[in-house]
Each structure stands twice: as structure tokens, then as C-alpha cells.
Amino acid sequence: MISLIIFLLTLAILGVIFGSFKTSNYFKLGSRGEKNPNVLQIVKTVGVIVASMVVASIQPLSLQRIDAGNVGLAIDRIGNDKGIPKTRDVKGWVFYNSWTTDVIEYSVRQQHVEYNVFNVPSKGGSLIPVGPSFNISLRPEASAEVYIHLTKSEDVVESVKNGWLATATNIALTDATNLFTPDSIFNNSDNYRIEVEKQLKKQLSRYFTVDQIKPGQQPPQAMVGILQAKANAIQAAQQAELNRLTAVATAEQKIAEARGDSAQLVITAKAEAEAIRLKQIQITPAYVEYIKWLNAADDVPRVPATILGSGSNVLLSR
């Protein structure tokens, strides 16, 4: 784009200067008045075109657009007194002098990284196979440091995956795994994953952000049987504890039901005893005689007697 514009501008300027756009300049009148080609003007015009092409091909101006999702970096080729290039962030459309400046753009989108299984030592020295995977993205503010210290390639992650990134990942997995015994790595996998995430961020946070980390730990072949036996023992113990708690709950329920039944019996017995006591108080000899008299057949003489205060007899008639 820039080269074409420079070519057209140069052509226009030189064409005006050397009269390349005037048709009359390409002919001259002969001694008899005839029109003859003006060889000199033709040579000038060819020179103008060639000069314009040369200028367009060697001109230093460049134009570049920084795409969304990328961070642009303009690097001064001259550098400073310590040999470290000067850099500045750029975005959108960027005009620059390609003789003195480079413009590079790095993607800041997340990229997925996976590694083949490698062995790291656990607490006690046993080697644990791990095949980590995670998502990683370049921190925009670290793009200048990445250019200076890591890579000039625009595909940063792919460029450092098998070098700097692989080494940093190995260090992080080693530091994390060395804090756990072999069985705790698999019995407390959440704690192990949290520690791996902590160590990875510690190693990578200078240049990258990292998330969705999966340590990918695998038990060594020699430990598979041991870990399975331990897992079975733990499950058996948990089942036994569950059975014990169930038995205790059932027994407590039965005790509660028995207590409820006993309480009900006691309440009923007390009520019956109280009723008997009250009846005994109410049923006097006089009351008995009265009931007999009241319920006797019609042909039975109504001559019940009762005893008054001094023992006197009283006849009752119906």
C-alpha cells in the first residue's frame, strides 16, 4: 500500500518536472515541418518511471494494522547505550520507518498447552508421572520483556513451548510434587492441584497468565496395587462406620419407642388407679343399699334400711 502510494507520488512529481505528462513534448518539428519523435523526452519519461519504481522499492515508510486480540510493539533498531532496544506499545494503524523501527504483534488470546508425561520426584524420592495441561496467554504489559528476553517470533507460546516454558513447567511440577507423599497426591488430588497451580503461576506470572490447570498425575505401576488396596480399606472402614451409626440410630429409636410405650402404660395405670380410688370413696354402704333398692324387681318389697347418725332405722317406701 505505502509503496504504491510512494510510486505514484514520485511519478507525479518527476513527471511534472520533466514534462512527461505533456503530449507535445514527445514530438518535434523537422526541417520540412513534419513531426518526428522526441527521443530525449521518451528517455526522460522512461527514466521517471524507473526512478519512481526504485524510490518505491527502497523507501522506508511502512504501514501495519494491529489486529484485535493482539498487542503491538514498535522496536527501535538503534537501541540505547546498553544495547537494549527501545520499545513502545502501538495499536490500530501504525506508520513507521522500517529502516530504523520494527513493528511486531503478539497474540494475547489464550492458547492450550499440553505436555507428554514426564517424571518428577515426590516427598521421599518416589518418581510420579505427570502430564500437565493448561491454558496460557501473554500478559500485554510484558510484551517488551518477551521480545528482549524470550523470543522475537510472533507466535510466542509455540516459540517457547519446548524451551523456556517447558523448563518452567517442569520446575513448578517438581516443586509442587516434592511437598506431597505419593499416596497423598492421589488421595488429596484437590490440594495437589491447588499447589501445582500456585507453583505454575509463580514460575510463569512474569510473562504469562495461566488457568484451567490439570496436573495429569498418574500412579506409578508399582503403586497401583498398593493405592487400590488402601482405597478399598478406606471404603470398608467408611462402610463399617456407616453400619455402626445405622445400628446406633436404630437402637436409639427402639429405646425411644419403648420409653414412649412405658410412659403410656404408666399414665394409663395411674389413671385407672385414680379412678378406682375415687370410686372407692364414692361407694359407701348406704350407696350400695340404695343401688340395690333402686335396681330391685318390682315384686321385691321396698324396705331397705339405712343407718342414721345414732343408729335409728328409717323406712323408705316407693
| Domain range annotation of the chain | 2-106, 111-219, 221-282, 285-318
- How many angstroms separate the CA atoms of 318 and 296, rounded? 12
Q: Please give the share of the chain, as a percent, with pLDDT higher than 90.
A: 22
Q: Are 147 and 88 in contact (CB under 8 A)?
A: no
Q: Which pLDDT value is given to residue 83?
A: 65
* Other beta carbons less than 10 A from residue 300's beta carbon: 11
Q: How confident is the model at residue 31 (pLDDT cuts 50, 70, 90)?
A: low
Q: Which pLDDT value is given to residue 119?
A: 92
Secondary structure of residue 271 in the 3-state scheme = helix
Backbone φ and ψ for 111, nearest 5 degrees, come out as -130, 145
Q: Which range in 115-119, 151-155, 283-287 is most confidently predicted, on average pLDDT?
A: 115-119
- Cα–Cα distance list, 209 to 82, 199, 204 (Å): 30, 13, 7
CATH number of 111-219: 3.30.479.30
Q: Using one digit for the tens of pLDDT, what is the confidence trace for 238-266? A: 888 888 888 888 888 888 787 777 778 77
pLDDT at 318 over 50: no
Q: Which three cell numbers stand for residue 106?
A: 503478539
Per-chain mean pLDDT for the chain: 81
Backbone φ and ψ for 73, nearest 5 degrees, come out as -135, 120
Across 260-285, b (16+ Cβ under 10 Å) vs e yields eeeeeeeeeeeeeeeeeeeeeeeeee
pLDDT at 297 over 90: no
Q: Which three cell numbers stand for residue 154?
A: 510472533
